[in-house]
Amino acid sequence: MSNDKIIDGKAFAEALRERIGTETAALKDAHGLVPGLAVVLVGEDPASQVYVRNKGKAAAAAGITASDHRLDASTTQDELLALVDKLNNDPTVHGILVQLPVPDQIDPNAVIDAIAPAKDVDGFHVINTGRLATGQMDGPDAAMVPCTPLGCKMMLEDRLGDLSGLNAVVLGRSNIVGKPMAALLTQASCTVTIAHSRTKNLAEVCRGADILVAAVGRPQMVQGDWIKPGAAVIDVGINRIDAPTTEDPDKTRLVGDVDFDSAVEVAGAITPVPGGVGPMTIACLLANTVTAACRQNGITPPKF
């Protein structure tokens, strides 16, 4: 196996964060503008706490002011919406992220809908999804693009260059990854198929792809013989499976939606899990925050 096949998301994200840092310094020098990101966490979900902490560290390192708003698990929906409204009206806050999942008494869709579309750095608001679907990508009212698909597209263009004319299969139809990924690839002039667990002849559909994005949430579902020789494979899946050893019968490990060992022998380029798509998500959140800050202040955003 050649290391040239590996799309190193960790290294790509580090380089992107460096570019973001350069741009935030330039914004401060030229306009006195410091991008601000507000991260809201309701409850004490351990994984969410780790994500929020990592986002705060990454933001600070990139010259972005990050504020944490931690609310008790018993917080009501009205209390959370009141905080969101306050942040919407705070001119020092350019991006708002409410960490999901939220406790059962809160409707996540109501929270997403309450965030001002211009500050929706997750790109989940229906106005942003509509703008993305219709190709409204430029200007002050352009779409905020969900972070994971944005990172996937960046890595594909870095590796493949012009994507136009390529056959792309997106395996998964979620609002967070599958649908926005398909929209981005369509705008890049790919021929796009959205496939999923109920697609007939799924392996055959995948084998027709020059680009295969796996985001179905099933560990190691995509096998090497599902992949067209030389195809670019982006594995969005993060699944923890049992990997017991004699020394540690409870040991687990992270795998993607693609069986990496068989796929890497066939693919022309592939993201590993971990170290592929994951690091790009936080980096693109920071990029979206800078973009949002520029748009809200009448400044042309940098191209990341």
- All CATH 3.40.50.10860 domain ranges of the chain, comma separated, are 31-122
pLDDT of residue 2: 54
**Set 55, 119, 153, 228: catalytic member:** 55
Q: Are 15 and 282 in contact (CB under 8 A)?
A: no
Tokens of 66: 């990050």
Give me the residues of the chain with pLDDT under 70, please: 1-2
Predicted pLDDT of residue 48: 84
Three-state SS annotation for the chain? CCHHHECCHHHHHHHHHHHHHHHHHHHHHHHCCCCEEEEEEECCCHHHHHHHHHHHHHHHHCCCEEEEEEECCCCCHHHHHHHHHHHHCCCCCCEEEECCCCCCCCCHHHHHHHCCHHHECCCCCHHHHHHHHCCCCCCCCCCCCCHHHHHHHHHHHHHHCCCCCCEEEEECCCCCCHHHHHHHHHHCCCEEEEECCCCCCHHHHHHCCCEEEECCCCCCCECHHHCCCCCEEEECCCEEEECCCCCCCCCEEEECCECHHHHCCCCCEECCCCCCCHHHHHHHHHHHHHHHHHHHCCCCCCCC
CATH annotation of 147-279: 3.40.50.720
Report the relative pairing of strands 252-255 and 239-242 from DSSP bridges.
antiparallel
99 is catalytic: yes
- How much is the pLDDT for 50? 85
Structure tokens at 273: 């899990």
pLDDT of residue 1: 45
Quote the CA–CA distance of 175 and 108 in Å, as a whole number.
Answer: 13
Q: Which CATH class is domain 31-122?
A: alpha beta
Residue 39: what pLDDT? 95
- Model confidence pTM above 0.85: yes
Is 72 noted as a catalytic residue in this protein?
no
Distance of alpha carbon 196 from alpha carbon 214, whole angstroms: 9
**CATH 3.40.50.720 domain locations along the chain:** 147-279
- Tell me phi and psi for residue 283, to 5 degrees: -60, -40
Which one of the listed residues 5, 119, 120, 122 is annotated catalytic?
A: 122
- Identified catalytic residue from 99, 179, 228, 259: 99
**Relative orientation angle of helices 178-187 and 126-133, to the nearest 10 degrees:** 30
